Structure 1
């Protein structure tokens, strides 16, 4: 079974205005409410390509009810820990060529709720895969990522991490199945300047393997993607298009990559499909419907590097 864990979910409110000015009433021309959270997005994406999953994490209040309802509508399993407070609402305002982003903190998560989540994850086995993605809400220290990594090693489930925490390095001791930093996050983790060459980027990804990661997928925005394991180094270019919103592109890439690997067991197919899908979401207001992925794949070039 596949599980996705989002500890700080949100409703994302996307609004558009002809003009947006301070100290006056601004009336939107368009609005859209979307259940969101990095691992929740992965559940939505997996469902779009025909793969079932169960979403877990923390939800509270009427906003939490909305998110759970949206997941159920798509026949996605839910197993959230209910908490006091209200799951956050983030607002994205577009006016002309400008975009404003208001991201809230969300409720504080009690120690009891955290322990309940870890107890639930102890039930996972070697037949399961767990995605852990996104930021942490108030009350949770990033040590929890290391605790989950320990559990994955103990229980032998496949752990996929897409987190910006520096504690990712400590998680590598427990050999996660896959990590997905972007190129900037990878440089920050290694304490080096931004990568200026492909060779430097590959060396950085290989360092993650040396530290314990089994596989590394690096999202590179308009430059495409890099995949590295002990036997393979693959680059993809990105297709061209008008970027509308990059917020969910990495989630889409990760979900499609893992999903296609499960469906096809073909690394090249998975990476090209994932790159196209990530770009498709970047060209959309929210998560892509993936209908343009076949056309976008035709633009992508895949390059193998000799290990």
Structure 2
């Protein structure tokens, strides 16, 4: 079973307009409301590919109830911890000349609720996969990812980490199965600007030397590069297409990678191909890619 954790899920309110003018009244021409959060996105795309997973994390208030309702309505299986106070955050996404986002803060998470999540994670079994994705709210210990990987060490559980900065860097020593920085995040870890595949590979190898088993570097419209635990470098370009919405594309890539890895019984090249197919398909559509969307992109690679 695959489990995903979203510490600070959101209700994403997405509006479209031709132009956005700061300091003035802007009227939406189209609007959608989605359940948001990187782990939630991973689970929903996995579900679209007929791979079961369970969403873990925290919800609160009327927005939290709507996040759970929408997740279930889109095929998700949830086991969220309900907070007694506050409301899950609302994130505003404005799609006009450019993409603009205003992300809410999220509710306070008491210590006893955090311990309840850790207790859930402790029930994972050998062969399970845990996906830790996204940022954490300010009142959660900044080493929470590290705490989780330490608890799971030696138990035969695959861990995927899609995070930035110290959240990512501090867990690498626990040998996560997969990490997925983008090229900018990878450069920030080493305080360098990365421009070529060779430069990206050098930094990816440093992360692998530190403990990461597979390093998947997303390159936006240029596809992705994978440094596999077999020592091989795999590289694929994205197919041609029109960017509609970049939100969730990276999460879709993680879901596609896991789906491809499972379907091919561990073929890293196939996992990368499925990852790029799912990530690109989501980027080419209003929201997360369906199975048919992904199959169409896959056929074009």
Query: What range is the shorter-chain TM-score in?
Result: over 0.9
Query: What corresponds to 1:196 in structure 2?
Result: 195
Segments of 5+ residues of structure 2 without an aligned counterpart are: none
| Matches of 1:258 and 1:242, distance apart in 2 | 25
1:119-152 Cα distance to aligned partner (Å, 9 max, x none): 2111112121100101111311221010011122
1:115 is matched with which residue? 115
| Equivalent residue pairs, number | 298
Instruction: Tell me if structure 2 keeps the 8 A contact 1:223–1:237.
Output: yes
Shift of 1:25: 4.6
**Cα distance between partner residues in 2 of 1:18 and 1:228:** 40
Cα pair 2:255 2:278 within 8 Å, conserved = no
Distance in 2 between the 1:205 and 1:99 partners? Answer: 29
Q: Judge conservation of contact 1:6–1:133 (CA < 8 Å) in 2.
A: yes
2:92 corresponding residue in structure 1: 91
Give distance in 2, aligned partners of 1:166 and 1:181. Answer: 12
Mapping 1:1-307, distance limit 5 Å: 1-21=1-21, 25-83=25-83, 84-95=85-96, 97-191=97-191, 193-231=192-230, 232-265=232-265, 266-300=267-301
After superposition, the C-alpha distances for 1:153-208 in whole angstroms (9 at most, x for unaligned) are 143311100011313222111111111111111111123x1112211111111111
The verdict on how the C-alpha distance between 1:53 and 1:188 changes in structure 2, with shifts beyond 3 A counting, is: same
For residue 131 of structure 1, give the secondary structure of its aligned residue in structure 2.
Answer: strand
SS of alignment partner, residue 42 of structure 1: helix
CA–CA distance in structure 1, aligned partners of residues 283 and 19 of structure 2: 24
| Deviations 1:259-278 (CA, angstroms, capped at 9, x unpaired) | 12112223222211211221
Q: CA deviation at 1:37?
A: 0.3
Look up the SS of the partner of 2:4 in the other structure: strand
Distance of 1:246 and 1:77 partners within structure 2: 24
Question: Contact 2:207 / 2:215 at 8 angstroms: preserved in 1?
Answer: yes
Contact 1:152 1:174 in 2 (8 A): no
Q: Structure 2 vs 1, CA of residues 179 and 23 (structure 1 numbering), >3 Å: closer, same or farther?
A: closer
- Contact 1:131/1:161 (8 A) holds in 2: yes
Do the aligned partners of residues 23 and 77 (structure 1) sit closer, same or farther apart at CA in structure 2, a change above 3 Å counting?
A: same
Q: How many Å separate the matches in 1 of 2:290 and 2:238?
A: 18
Q: Say whether the 8 Å CA contact 1:43–1:76 is kept in structure 2.
A: yes
Q: Secondary structure at the match of 2:171?
A: helix
3-state secondary structure, aligned to 2:213 = coil
Instruction: Decide which moves more: 33-42 or 195-204.
Output: 195-204
**TM-score of the pair, normalised by structure 1:** 0.91
CA distance in 2, matches of 1:194, 1:92: 28
Q: Identify unmatched segments of 5+ residues in structure 1.
A: 301-307
Does the Cα contact within 8 Å between 2:3 and 2:131 map onto a contact in 1? yes
